[in-house]
Amino acid sequence: MSYVIAVSGKGGTGKTTLAALIIRTLLDSGRKPVLAVDADPNACLGLALNNETSETIGQLREDVLEDPGQIPAGMGKAEYLDYRLRECTVEGSGFDLITMGRSEGPRCYCYINSLLRHFLDRLDEKYRYVVIDNEAGMEHLSRRTTRDVDLLLVVSDATVMGLRSAARIHTLADSLDVNIRRWGLVINRHDGELSAPQQAEIQRAGLDVWGQVPQDEAVLAHALAGASVLDLPADSPAVVAVRGVLQRIWQPAMA
């Protein structure tokens, strides 16, 4: 069974960068193969990993519903979806990437979604770790693949507004039909003591702070250049901080 790590946070908090840095840490520590799942409709995880895909699960779903005649004669819909799903998976060095794409429109997707969930669950079993870069709304967790998440990291900046948004994400995720075994808060672009108002918001959210990731000029420079976080130096402050976050929460079950 794969160990599933989901990352969520409101837009602009750096959740995609954190998800990519987690994948970087897993690869650096030999914990592979890893399946990277970009579940944000504004797909950016592939860019952060320098491994973008041209086809998404959303596009696949639309293609099959709009033109069922494209399925070759003698091939069932389930078999065809399995074949196309493999085409949606982009291979990297020690990891593969699959992109969920945009949410569905008004038509009925129940049967297609059921087949895709079945195939994605099987795909998960091939990987030691699955890292999901989730949209803030969290809906993909309930409809995309497995019902189990081993670790949910909610990302926030250090502002009171950001921390309140993290609390709302926590509440929303808790209402989904998903078994989330462990929760934690990562405060991004901040390093130092938290003020009393910040601590009050964190306590209200009911989330443990598992670490802080400081502002890192190397991350900004890579983003401006469109470069991968996989190419960041090993002593980059963000790389070191994320490595420390995972070391604090890794358990023997994750070894």
3-state secondary structure 158-225: CCHHHHHHHHHHHHHHHCCCCEECCEEEEEECCCCCCCHHHHHHHHHHCCCEEEEECCCHHHHHHHHH
Number of folded domains that form the chain: 1
pLDDT score for 143: 56
Query: How sure is the predictor about 186, in pLDDT bands with cuts at 50, 70 and 90?
Result: very high
Q: Is-cis flag, bond preceding 33, omega within 30?
A: yes
Say yes or no to pLDDT of 99 above 50. yes
Residues 44-85 pLDDT 10s: 899 999 887 778 888 888 888 788 888 888 888 888 888 888
Residue 105 has what pLDDT? 67
- Gap between the Cα atoms of 102 and 57, Å rounded: 9
The reported pLDDT for the residue numbered 189 is 94
- DSSP code at position 123: H
pLDDT tens-digit series, residues 114-149: 666 676 677 777 899 999 998 776 665 655 444 678
CATH code (residue 97): 3.40.50.300
Q: What is the pLDDT of residue 103?
A: 64
Q: What is the average pLDDT score of the chain? A: 84
What is the pLDDT at residue 145?
46
- Ramachandran quadrant class, 231 (left: phi over 0; alpha: psi -120 to 50; beta: rest): alpha
Task: Output 102 or 248, whichever has higher pLDDT.
Answer: 248
248 exposure class (CB count in 10 Å sphere: 0-12, 13-18, 19+): exposed
Element (H, E) at 84: helix 77-88
| Distance between CA atoms of residues 165 and 169, nearest Å | 6
pLDDT greater than 80 at residue 253: no
Strand partners, 154: 8, 185
pLDDT for residue 236: 96
CA-based nearest residue to 36, from 46, 28, 18: 46
Q: What percent of the chain has pLDDT over 70?
A: 87
What is the domain extent for residue 86? 3-254
Q: How would you classify the pairing of strands 148-149 and 34-39?
A: unpaired
